[in-house]
Structure 1
Amino acid sequence: MAAFHLSESDTAFEVGEYQQFAKAEPEDAATETTERPKLRHLSVVLLSFGLLCVLQATLNICLRLALSEPADKGKTGEHSCPQSWLMFGSSCYYISSQRRSWDDSRWDCVQRDADLVIIGSRQEQNFLTGFTMAAWVGMTDREVEGTWIWVDATPVNKDSLLWARGQPDGAFGGEDCGELRTMINFIGLNDFNCSARIQWICEKSLQ
């Protein structure tokens, strides 16, 4: 730093280097810079959630389509089920959305050129389990208490099928019609009051 004396007086001027200071950012610009990464992160989260929803819906549709395919794929070209019916093995199944008594449910099946389902194996029962919480099937012990028969007059083989825990029990003064239950800790065949209004399952052969 230099000092210049202009006169005999003691007056002096000092000349120094000029230092440039950075301009302070406006407060709005700083806030905007901070919020941009947050908005970008939120957009990524929302996009990922949307993709997961689409994937879940696609998987659900594929699962239902897979369940409705016949066990013997060689028959697909020759046989088919009516629209809204499910296919398993050599049978077609209609699962109602309404609720009726056992007799009214059977009448509905007959109108559809079918009958209440006859479950012939554990594989067939497993296929039908889970579509509803409770649905009528084609078995009853009305003629002889404790002797269960299907709607085609063949006996129900209790040992080959899964019954719900403690069933059949003939509770509440008589439960003479059969249903298929899918509830927590209560899954399988069950005897129920024939006048109760629940859903039902119709069955007919492939056409």
Structure 2
Amino acid sequence: MAVSFHSSESDISVALGEYQEFPRPEPEDAAAERAPKLKLRHVSVVLLSFGLLCVLQGVLNISLRLALSEPTDKGETEEESCPQDWLTFGSSCYYISWQGKSWDDSRQDCLQRDADLVIINSIQEQAFLTGFTEAAWVGMTDRKKEGTWVWVDGAPVNKDELRWALGQPDGAYGGEDCGDIRTMIHFIGLNDYNCSVRNRWICEKTVDGQTGSIYYLNA
């Protein structure tokens, strides 16, 4: 809105324009008081968010622990393990002696431990047992029929799958009817040997500690 005044004598013209009110600048003291409040509010939001994240992380950790602690089988409450000083491979436990006995005495020692001389079922199992000692009795023999090697459970020895030492079995020295496993330079694998020689031996039984089926071969 504009208002004009005119004077005839002095020819003076005065014009008044529209009045506009501008906001007053905020006092410095008030702005200074408001800044800490805004900063405190921002910090409170950050702390609240951090607290919620901590609670969520705790809930996730507890849930994960409960999930991992639940047995995979409802009837299974704890994991079975081998006796102390026995080795574990697959579902079997192995005892390796530190003294020497004949093949028959070695087998008797295994039977007293609710085990038997080891039966090697695969090349992987043979590889696992290789290297613990230079020679150790295992549960195979050809006493019943010369040249027909069987394990103590009556199963035939798979000559094609397992590794025999170079040139073995050879039935040397008038008859070698018991088997051992060798780890020697240029002589690694299964070997036939005189049953009366004192060798170390390897016993085997299942992980769950069960005696299992024990087979007795006719000597």
Normalized against structure 1, the TM-score is what? 0.63
* Post-superposition offset of 1:137: 0.1
Deviation, structure 1 residue 116? 0.1
**Residues in 1 aligned to 2:129 and 2:153: alpha-carbon distance in whole angstroms:** 19
- Separation (CA, whole Å) in 1 of partners of 2:119 and 2:161: 13
**Range with greater deviation from structure 2 (77-86 or 112-121):** 77-86
2:211 corresponds to 1:206: no
Which AA in structure 2 matches 1:140? T
- The share of aligned pairs that are identical, in percent, is 74
Q: Does 1:86 align with 2:87?
A: yes
Report the equivalent of 2:117.
Answer: 116
Determine the C-alpha separation between the residues in 1 that align with 2:80 and 2:174: 45
Point out the structure with max Rg over C-alpha: 2
Q: Which residue of 1 aligns with 2:178?
A: 177
Tell me the CA shift for residue 78 of structure 1.
1.8
SS of 1:159's equivalent in the other structure is coil
Q: CA separation in 1, counterparts of 2:134 and 2:126?
A: 14
- Tell me how far 1:174 sits from its aligned partner: 0.3
Structure 1 residues 1-207: aligned runs within 5 Å: 77-207=78-208
Regions of 4+ moved over 2 Å: none
RMSD, aligned CA: 1.3
Measure, in 2, the Cα distance between the counterparts of 1:153 and 1:166: 24
1:186 and 1:79 map into 2 onto residues whose CA distance is 36
Q: CA deviation at 1:132?
A: 0.3
How many residues are paired up? 133
Normalising by structure 2, what TM-score? 0.60
Deviation at 1:189, TM superposition (A): 0.1
Distance 1:81 1:206 in 2: 5
SS in 1 for 2:179: strand
For residues 127 and 153 of structure 1, the distance between their equivalents in structure 2, rounded to whole angstroms, comes to 23
SS of residue paired to 2:107: helix
